[in-house]
Amino acid sequence: MWWLFPPDKLGRVKDENGELVFDVRHLEGEGGAMKVLQEEGEIIFIPSGWHHQVVNLDFCISINHNFFASPTLPHIYRALCVSQDRVEDSIADVQDMIIERLGAKHDQWEKEWLQEVQNLLQMDAGWDWRGFWETIMKNLKCPPSVNAPIVSRRNEWIGGVIKQYKKRREWVVLDTVRTIVEDIESWLV
C-alpha cells in the first residue's frame, strides 16, 4: 500500500517541528494522501519531489531505482541545501564544541565541522555534496543513450547550480568536492 503526497502537500505530513512524520496512517485522514494498492507484478513510479510511504501487505521484494532528470537539478540542489541546514541546526552544539577545542580563528574548526555535517547529511538525505557532484560528473562522462537533454540546456542547468554552490562556504572548505566541481566545469565548455 502506497501513500503519495505531491510537493505542494508536504505540509500535511510534517509535525510541529517541520519534520516528516514517521507514519502517515496516524494523521487525520492519512494526511490527505493519494492511496495506491500495488498488485502483484505491478510497477509504480514516484515523481521527483513527491513524499511517499509504503507498507508491504505481503512478502515481497522491493527493487528501487532513484534518478533525477537534468531539468530537476535546481530543485534537487535546493533540497540538499535544506537538508544540510536541518542537519546543521540539529547539531549546532557540536559546532560550539569544535570551536572551543580548536579556536574560532583557526580554519581547521570549519573543516572538521563541515565534515561532521557531511557525514550526517549522507545518512539523512542519502548523499552529501561529494555524492551529489559525483553523480553529476558520472552522468557527464556517461550520458544516457536515449532521452538525453540538449547539451546547451544541460550545461545551463549544471552551470546555474555550480554558480549557486560557489557562494556556499563548502566551495572554499571542502577541497575534494571543489576539485570534482572544477572537473565538471571543464566538461561544460
Give per-residue pLDDT as tens, 75-131.
899 999 999 999 999 999 998 999 888 888 768 898 999 999 999 999 988 899 999
Share of the chain above pLDDT 70, in %: 98
* Alpha carbon of residue 160 to chain centroid: 17
The number of C-alpha atoms within 13 Å of 23 and in the hemisphere containing its C-beta is 4
pLDDT tens, 32-69? 888 999 988 888 888 877 888 898 888 888 777 667 77
In DSSP terms, 53 is beta-bridged to 3
C-alpha 143, offset from chain centre? 21
pTM: 0.73
For residue 103, the model assigns a pLDDT of 83
Residue 165 has what pLDDT?
98
Q: What separation in angstroms does the CA of 167 have from each of 49, 161, 170, 172, 179? A: 24, 10, 8, 9, 16
The predicted pLDDT at position 66 comes to 65
Quote the pLDDT of residue 163: 98
Q: Are 124 and 83 in contact (CB under 8 A)?
A: yes
CA proximity to 129, closest of 51, 60, 77, 189: 77
pLDDT at 4 over 80: yes
**DSSP 3-state of 46:** coil
Q: Give strand pairing partners of 80.
A: none
Q: What number is the average pLDDT over the span 5-18?
A: 84
Residue 15 DSSP code? -
Phi/psi of residue 62, nearest 5 degrees: -105, 125
